[in-house]
Chains A and B, each alone.
Chain A
Amino acid sequence: MSPEVSRREFLCTVAGCAAAAAVGGCSDITHTDFFRKRFRELEPDELKDIIADLEARQTAKYGKQTTISTKGPLPGVEYGYALDVSRCVGCRRCEYACFDENNQGHDPEIHWIRVLEMEQKLGINFEESDPYYEAEEVPEPGHFYLPVACQHCRNAPCVKSCPVGATWEEEDGIVVVDYDWCIGCRCCVAACPYGARHFNWAEPKLPAEAQNPNQHYLGNRPRPKGVVEKCTFCIHRVREGQYPACMEACPVGARTFGNLLDPNGELRYILENKKVFVLKSELNTKPRFYYYYG
């Protein structure tokens, strides 16, 4: 008996029990979705069929020709990010560029980037920070701003905590989630020290006109309810050589993205010449997201 057959037999026996659970909430899940293997285990032709199917479904649903990339890491590349805290003005342009680029849920609303307003006299102090500041104009006097998203840790607590291996670190350093493998236990949400992981508490609503048809399987394709999602450094853009959307959107040039392995790159200049810090360094998460005062 081949492993393939035994897998199918096993799954068919459990399908009966699972069907009962699935009936209520997962009516849009088809047979193929339910039996889909982990992304990392899919054979190239299986993957091709799945992508074609996913693209067709989205094209029909949103009325836009959708492409879903599965492009892997580029050789010799490890992504990193640096953000100049002294320059950020807290305009939230990055937050909304990310929102639009990554097909984030409009209702319930999910934002991968949180821009925290902090008081200058208190320094970086999360307890006193406020992501909900309402101001006519920013920067508000006496305040500075700290945008926080996934820090793409080298020692990621979220990856460690996942019971099914649905989230992992790619070779280029991007921490990704397989939305079709995640069981929604939220261990990673509890494990993340940066509030970077977001759970789909309900079916995320994405208006057709807001859908970005340029997608990646591990990135910005629309997520189902009941799974966890997070910043992927715009995996669909950066693996094509483009900058992440948040960086393009920043009106003050506070954001720098690049290849940490390039000795002549901007990031290495910053690491060598600036007073760089990472958030919660005492936790030894070793983020690839650096902050500095330029």
Chain B
Amino acid sequence: MQTVRLFGHWIHGSIRIILHGGILYWCWTLLLLALVGMGGVSYAHQLQEGLITTSMRDQVSWGFYIGNFTFLVGVAAAAVTLVVPAYIYGWKPIKEIVVYGEMMAVTAITCCALFVVVDIGHPERFWHLIPGPGILNVPSSLLGWDVIALNSYLLLNFVIVTYLLFNLFRRHHPNQKIYMTLVWISIPAAIAIHTVTAFLYSGLVARPFWNSAILAPRFIVSAFCSGPALMLVIMQLMQRFTTFHIRREAIWKIAELMTYFMGFNLFLLCAEVFKDYYSDTGHLVHMRYMFNGVGDHDAIVPWMWSAVSCSVIAFLIFLSRKRRENLLWLNLGCTLVFFGVYLEKSMGMVIPGMTPDTLGEIYEYVPSWNEIRVSLGILALGALIYTWMVRIATPILHDEFHFDDGKATHPPLGTKSRAGGT
């Protein structure tokens, strides 16, 4: 009973935090809310008319939505695995790194789920996936496995974050055994979700571009480039806007680890490129569509060269220790590798895999505006959720928002505070 009441206090206090903030906070929030609203309206339009509002057709039957989904699974996986170096090197704000990473995972997986929901033709039939009333076609269906993996991962991270924050809020020591066990489960689970998502593609014999044994390793390695890049930028932003503090050495170490992964990522890409171009089988056409264009069809080519350039330049920047330990260069490199991996893994993975289609037809897919608006809405919702979670979590982690001796302490609102009230 006591716990339930405390939980009520926590929720109440959290809502209070969300509803108060400085001008910058409100600008950011309102911008995101506007984008979410726009996405909602566009989605309503799509529900009304059908997926004809997208640019997807039978020839290219997955597109922007599933591309974003794939990328975000990688972000969700990588955010959590930052815990591993944090433990190995004993970085001090480890609790923070765990919490911010797992919150990122919760956010990214929520977005993933939404991207799947907007992609399917009959979202109201989702209950067909629930064993019992419906049927989940495992072990044969990889999407079935993905549903299990992603939902378990979402639940796991949600439980970890809630357990940790709620206990800190009520000034209990979180049971180290429970909490660390869950954290350690979440690490292989992170690898698992991305592997299953890769298998969703690489298991398709119809699509030689995806039907590659190194797709799963590529997914994971590229996630270890883009995920930490995003986290590094976010951590710096939080350092700027909240009282969160991360030691420089931790940032440098993450950057160093990223360098290895970026190199490895490029190596795996080279392996794929070599295999396809040198063997020059009928399967090369997908790679050619991506990097050379086929006939007049070359809409995707500049994007793919940009993606490769971004990844290469970022790697070159990170190779030099002096550069990557300079915040300006570091952030430039992070941005480049983030966009490089984003382009390569969302559009650059999905579209060439389906172009030309299985009967050799080339339909040049470019996302429709409605599709882009819906996607922006989902990403904005993710950003909003993450912003709110950070604003709630930060004062708890700094002991400014807690419940003790029958009374709640709230962080000071409206001024620059640990709750990020600027």
Contact = CB atoms under 8 A, between A and B. Distances in A.
- Do they bind each other? yes
Interface of A: 7, 10-11, 14, 18-19, 21-22, 24-26, 29, 34, 38, 108, 114, 116, 125-129, 131, 148, 157, 159-166, 181-187, 189-195, 197-203, 225-228, 283-285
Given A183-B129, A199-B121, A25 B47 contact: yes
B60 to A, nearest CB: 10
B141 interface: yes
Contact of A181 (B128, B282, B285, B357): B128
Given A38-B135, A162-B141, A164-B137, A114 B359 contact: yes
Interface string B126-161: 111100111111001111100100000000000000
B42 to A, nearest CB: 11
A108 B137 contact: no
A26 B360 CA distance: 34
A17 B191 CA distance: 31
6 contacts: A26-B124, A126-B360, A181-B125, A191-B205, A191-B206, A195-B58
A7 B126 CA distance: 15
B143 A187 contact: yes
Contacts of A164: 125, 128-129, 134-137
B360 A183 contact: no
A192 B206 contact: yes
Nearest to A181: B128
Given A11-B127, A163-B137, A164-B137, A157 B122 contact: no
Nearest to B117: A21
A148 B359 contact: yes
A189 B125 contact: no
Contacts of B52: 108, 201-202
A160 B121 contact: no
A88 to B, nearest CB: 16
Contacts of B123: 18, 21, 183
A161 B135 contact: no
A228 B121 CA distance: 9
Contacts of A285: 205
Nearest to B56: A201
A63 B34 CA distance: 47
B205 A18 contact: no
Contacts of B135: 38, 164-165
A212 to B, nearest CB: 22
A184 B62 CA distance: 11
A227 B121 CA distance: 6
B299 interface: no
Contacts of A11: 127, 133
Contact of A200 (B50, B56, B205, B356): B50
B61 interface: yes
A285 B141 CA distance: 16
A156 B284 CA distance: 25
Interface in B39-59: 43-44, 46-52, 54, 56-59
B206 A182 contact: no
A283 B206 contact: yes
A10 B132 contact: yes
B204 interface: yes
Interface residues of B, number: 56
Interface of B: 43-44, 46-52, 54, 56-59, 61-62, 116-117, 119-129, 132-137, 140-144, 147, 200, 203-207, 282, 285, 354, 356-361
A148 B357 CA distance: 14
Given A161-B141, A163-B147, A201-B56, A10 B133 contact: yes
A18 B125 CA distance: 8
A240 B147 CA distance: 40
B288 to A, nearest CB: 10
Contacts of A116: 359-360
Contact of B121 (A14, A131, A200): A200
A133 B1 CA distance: 74
A183 B359 contact: no
B143 A193 contact: no
Closest 7 CB pairs of A and B: A184-B121, A226-B121, A24-B47, A126-B360, A25-B47, A193-B206, A202-B52
Nearest to B125: A183
Contact of A24 (B44, B62, B129): B44
Contacts of A162: 137, 141
Given A157-B204, A201-B57, 17 more contacts: A10-B132, A21-B47, A26-B124, A108-B52, A129-B361, A157-B206, A161-B203, A166-B128, A181-B128, A189-B61, A190-B62, A193-B206, A199-B58, A200-B50, A201-B51, A201-B52, A284-B205
B133 A195 contact: no
A127 B356 contact: yes
Given A164-B135, A183-B126, A125 B360 contact: yes
Contact of A127 (B59, B147, B207, B360): B360
Contact of A182 (B62, B121, B137): B121
Contacts of B129: 163-164, 183
Given A14-B127, A26-B122, A190-B207, A185 B47 contact: no
A190 B356 contact: no
A202 B46 CA distance: 10
Contacts of A166: 128
B361 A131 contact: yes
Nearest to A192: B206
B51 A226 contact: yes
Contacts of A29: 124
Given A186-B62, A195-B359, A22 B120 contact: no
A145 B56 CA distance: 27
A193 B133 contact: no
B50 A18 contact: no
